[in-house]
Homo-oligomer: A and B are copies of this chain.
């Protein structure tokens, strides 16, 4: 019982920290910045603010607060994302076409829902298990949208020929640091345990812990760098079909790709668009904003390959959760390390995103949370500089279509040991 109160206290603290962090992310924005959606994959910041709030309203308040009614009833369908079992979602591609409700109204909506959620705790009783889990899920859901807020703001700004800067001080002086020589960590393989039965929190797609057979392999001690990727480009990496998967090659031709998403060559000098505007490319930093196809092509060109997600997880299972994460990005925290770490860039693996053996399926709308995306996507591991620190772990599975590039996505090389 005392224990329970502690558990509740920790939850409410986590709730308030997370809700507040979202507001800190949007703090540098102008009202006009909240509404734009510059491609179908991104959502307007206003939508993220409202949708994460709607999630608490729909799945927590409606079911667990007797007599509760929707705060912005009319706007409700606008903030559903993809839950087909609830009322039909508003088309994703049109989120940037909606000027009302205003930013002010959405911020008020957030406050109103926060007040209600906090009210649930204040009764002094312990929360029942179901309610506890739903709020915890809502927090982790909002953390996912914190990362999307950062990547979407970056993409939205990159389209504007004025090249707005999100926050000048974000430019990390440490980017000029030297990079360690690539070294290989070796693993013997055999039967290993993948996934988790975590009692605290993990997503359905990480469960359950299960056995998996691995052959011996080695994995790089750090992600591939901009400098290494530049060698690939200069060796005609983007124009030689032999490096590419067939779908990747088609994408390169169709999209006219010749560099990572935000690279630009101006008068022979390489630049990269960042959250602080256009900056000279730093060769020692991990390459970022590449698609799976590019990661795979680079690895093939290198003579190596991408790790499977199981190899990656096996290699990281004892690595502490430290590295360049959202808090560093936001608050200019410094992080220096020669050790293998989480963060900086998500790392594409060679594993399509599929169901784990022995896993169960959640029922109802939340059953749509992860499982229904298990086709045509690839797993990424490790978190990025836009991932909140207490959101990431070794078993965490991120996933995107293989042609997506607007996330902070890079790669780490692997190879077989025969």
The interface of chain A, by Cβ under 8 A from chain B, is: 30-38, 74-75, 77-78, 82, 84-85, 90, 94, 96-103, 156, 159-162, 164, 191, 210-213, 215, 241-242, 244-249, 292-293, 296, 350-352, 354-355, 357-358, 367-368, 372-376, 402, 416, 418
Contacts of A367 in B (CB 8 A): 242
Minimum C-beta distance from A123 to chain B (A): 34
Closest B-chain residue to A373, C-beta based? B246
Contacts of A213 in B (CB 8 A): 191, 211-213
Closest B-chain residue to A85, C-beta based? B242
Which of A32, A90, A101, A416 has the most chain B CB atoms closer than 10 A to its own CB?
A32
The DSSP consensus for interface residues of chain A is: mixed
Contacts of A100 in B (CB 8 A): 30, 32-33, 160, 162, 164
Q: List 15 A-B contacts (CB under 8 A).
A: A30-B102, A31-B102, A32-B102, A33-B99, A35-B36, A38-B97, A78-B161, A78-B162, A100-B160, A191-B213, A212-B213, A215-B358, A296-B375, A352-B352, A358-B418
Whether A99 touches B352, Cβ cut-off 8 Å, given contacts A191-B213, A418-B358, is: no
Contacts of A350 in B (CB 8 A): 354-355
Q: Considering the chains assembled together, what is the distance between the CA atoms of A241 and B244 in angstroms?
A: 35
Q: Considering the chains assembled together, what is the distance between the CA atoms of A156 and B35 in angstroms?
A: 14
Closest B-chain residue to A243, C-beta based? B372
Contact of A156 among B99, B249, B358 (CB under 8 A): B99
Q: Considering the chains assembled together, what is the distance between the CA atoms of A352 and B373 in angstroms?
A: 13
The 7 closest A-B pairs by CB, nearest first: A84-B241, A352-B352, A32-B99, A213-B213, A33-B99, A246-B372, A38-B97
Q: Considering the chains assembled together, what is the distance between the CA atoms of A37 and B37 in angstroms?
A: 11
Asked if B160 contacts A247 (CB within 8 A), the reply is no
Q: Considering the chains assembled together, what is the distance between the CA atoms of A31 and B34 in angstroms?
A: 11
Contacts of A99 in B (CB 8 A): 30, 32-33, 35-36, 156, 160, 164
Whether A375 touches B159, Cβ cut-off 8 Å, given contacts A31-B32, A33-B99, A100-B164, is: no
Query: A32-B103, A99-B156, A100-B162 provided; 13 other pairs, C-beta below 8 A?
Result: A30-B102, A32-B32, A32-B34, A32-B99, A32-B100, A77-B161, A98-B160, A191-B191, A213-B213, A215-B357, A249-B372, A357-B416, A376-B376
